[in-house]
Structure 1
Amino acid sequence: MTFKLKILGSNSAAPAHNRHQSAQLLQIENQFILIDCGEGTQMQLKKYRAKARKISHIFISHLHGDHYLGLVGLLSTMHLQGRKQDLHLYGPAPLAEIITVHLRHSEMYFNYKVHFHALDLDKKELIMETNTLEVHAFPLQHRITCHGFIFQEKPKPYRINKSVMPVNMKLEHIMKLKKGEDVYDEKGELLYNASEMTFPPRRSRSYAYCSDTIFDPTLPLYFKGVDLLYHEATFLKDQASRASDTFHSTAEQAAMIAKDAEAGQLLLGHFSIRYKDLSPILSEAKEVFRASRLALEGETITIDD
């Protein structure tokens, strides 16, 4: 059961030190989701052999260029490559105008449908749902409208113990057992005991993405117990005042959020171009939260079930 995250870009502001602007590709089973789309994202997708045509949903956290300037180019390439399947795009309302202006003045019309979902939330809300997945957005405290996202698997079914499963068991009985329900006959007599016929469900996994934000101690309320938390760590703590002035966070502050959220792992990113060597950022975070790691481009983080 696949749940993995590919880092495509991890820098803030501008490309530097062989790092690119924010972009991540999340795969949950056969669902491919792009989170932010900084300049050069389509080149990063190509570099790491991730096929853009498989992306079905794109989430843009906010409209600072290092998080969306690669979007129009990516959408255009999808068009040129003959994409036909619908695409769902989530982001601040003005993003629709930005795309429309590009299309109008280039006299281009996509040969696929883009469903735009405008975001302007002041609380946590469900914005996407499938049979197996829920995605919630929540507000972040940044200089402009900005959102974080939580990707959460729905509760999984109980697993049938095939070694004790009778031959030709009725499908309706299997479906009840997968819900953890006992099965009775027409007379109300027990046919199958769910505890004897099934194994417990595999655990549901989760990933929270905190894009640009000032240190906000209320954030853990949105994603308590999350398996993997991405939180920006633009600066080291000696630049805390700079972080506050620019509505960003330090590595230490990101670690404090992860600790309070009781996260499984912390993924640090959105690094300032002032830092060529990222090891001090990792060290600072680990002093507070040991299960910290850097968002290094090309790496894949897998969450086991």
Structure 2
Amino acid sequence: MQMPFQLTILGSSSAMPTSSRYPTAQVLNVLGRFFLIDCGEGTQHQIRKNKIGFGKLNHILISHLHGDHFFGLIGLISTQMLLGRKNDLHIFAHSELQRYIQFQLDFLGITDPGFRLVFHPLNFKRPQVISEDDKLTITSFPLKHRIPCCGFRFDEKPKAPNIIKEKIKLYNIPIRDIKRIKAGEDFVAESGAVIPNNQLVIPAPPPRSFAYCSDTAFTETIIDTISGVDLLYHEATFAHDDLKTASETYHSTGVQAAQIARLAGAKKLLIGHFSARYKQPEIILQEAQAIFPNTEAANENETFQIG
């Protein structure tokens, strides 16, 4: 059974919240590690509603400094303080966000929140690996918006294949050889027979990937970076009748999001950041599906399995 790689939608509205939609926020669960992507107003309420432990959130990624993407951050930090958090909280964002959060803490008279806020400034000129370990690589990449804005790509690291337990006993495979077999080597049995590697292992599932394209006008400059992802989230603020408004505000239509997904060879497209002018985003979804059939609309409290 694979460890989780799944996305939960906390907010899918654009600048103005509605009675049924919150401003942008998502939580990505990668192998039991939780990443908060953007933090609009009401995010912590949605975190509770979805039964996500606050203490599990150690990394927050803020795409840009428009309020609907970070107005929930100081409230979330305050809640972490009330809960007695001790672990570092890593925030990846524009460098100016640190000054803004520090101003709020100073205004509230908070000199020591009880844990370290570790800020990591983003690069808005070119793609850059912002976090990497033996299980996951996170890459930021510039989008085309009115102010500096980044998207994020999450790539699971390839896993070693699993050795077939029955083969260990059958060929009397020493423990010292198991690592080499997992790395792709054949095995020479005591009889001198060479046992091909593909008879000894079960290939690991292919690594999974997710890309998040926050507020952006249509731009093909991101295609190489998001190429081949299992799930692509791309903003689709407007229906195509409002293409002029989308262009003027540096946002996208559902049609444009679908075009990007098709050009990138994404396996599945998820659209969101819907304008409050649409009571239901069905028209945006239908227009996107006409170009990229495997498209779904983001709705609050839905979880999407990746890969």
Match of 1:197 among 200, 222, 225: 200
Following TM superposition, by how much is the alpha carbon of 1:191 offset from its aligned partner in structure 2, in angstroms? Answer: 6.8
Give distance in 1, aligned partners of 2:78 and 2:221: 39
Q: Show the counterpart of 1:150.
A: 153
Following TM superposition, by how much is the alpha carbon of 1:273 offset from its aligned partner in structure 2, in angstroms? Answer: 0.6
Match of 1:125 among 125, 128, 136: 128
Following TM superposition, by how much is the alpha carbon of 1:103 offset from its aligned partner in structure 2, in angstroms? Answer: 1.1
Change over 3 Å in CA distance of 1:52–1:196 after alignment to 2: same
Deviations 1:80-107 (A, max 9, x none): 1011112211000001101111111111
Give distance in 1, aligned partners of 2:283 and 2:237: 12
Give distance in 1, aligned partners of 2:121 and 2:163: 41
Give distance in 2, aligned partners of 1:111 and 1:234: 39
Contact 1:17 1:276 in 2 (8 A): no
Following TM superposition, by how much is the alpha carbon of 1:286 offset from its aligned partner in structure 2, in angstroms? Answer: 0.6
Give distance in 2, aligned partners of 1:264 and 1:254: 13
Matched, 1:102 2:101: no
**For 2:150, what is the secondary structure of its paired residue?**
strand
Change over 3 Å in CA distance of 1:223–1:190 after alignment to 2: farther
Q: Show the counterpart of 2:138.
A: 135
Alignment of 1:37-76 (within 5 A): 37-76=39-78
Q: Show the counterpart of 2:214.
A: 211
Q: Show the counterpart of 1:77.
A: 79
Matched, 1:179 2:183: yes
Give distance in 2, aligned partners of 1:77 and 1:176: 48
Q: Show the counterpart of 1:261.
A: 264
Matched, 1:249 2:259: no
Superposition RMSD in Å: 1.7
Deviations 1:203-262 (A, max 9, x none): 000000000001112222111111000000000111111101101000100000001111
- Paired letter, 1:218: T
Structure 2 unaligned blocks of 5 or more: none
Q: Show the counterpart of 2:16.
A: 14
Following TM superposition, by how much is the alpha carbon of 1:171 offset from its aligned partner in structure 2, in angstroms? Answer: 4.0
- Paired letter, 2:204: P
Change over 3 Å in CA distance of 1:295–1:140 after alignment to 2: same
Give distance in 2, aligned partners of 1:83 and 1:172: 43
Matched, 1:163 2:166: yes
Give distance in 1, aligned partners of 2:30 and 2:193: 37
- Identity percentage of aligned residues: 45
Change over 3 Å in CA distance of 1:184–1:127 after alignment to 2: farther
Contact 1:120 1:145 in 2 (8 A): no
Matched, 1:227 2:247: no
Give distance in 1, aligned partners of 2:235 and 2:123: 21
**For 1:165, what is the secondary structure of its paired residue?**
helix
Change over 3 Å in CA distance of 1:82–1:138 after alignment to 2: same
Give distance in 1, aligned partners of 2:128 and 2:254: 27
- Paired letter, 1:29: L
Give distance in 1, aligned partners of 2:94 and 2:229: 25
Q: Show the counterpart of 1:25.
A: 27
Change over 3 Å in CA distance of 1:182–1:254 after alignment to 2: same
Change over 3 Å in CA distance of 1:191–1:278 after alignment to 2: same
Q: Normalising by structure 2, what TM-score?
A: 0.94
Following TM superposition, by how much is the alpha carbon of 1:290 offset from its aligned partner in structure 2, in angstroms? Answer: 0.2
**For 1:297, what is the secondary structure of its paired residue?**
coil
Following TM superposition, by how much is the alpha carbon of 1:166 offset from its aligned partner in structure 2, in angstroms? Answer: 2.8
Contact 1:139 1:148 in 2 (8 A): yes
Give distance in 1, aligned partners of 2:225 and 2:186: 35
Aligned length: 302
Match of 1:297 among 293, 300, 305: 300
Give distance in 1, aligned partners of 2:179 and 2:117: 36
**For 2:167, what is the secondary structure of its paired residue?**
coil
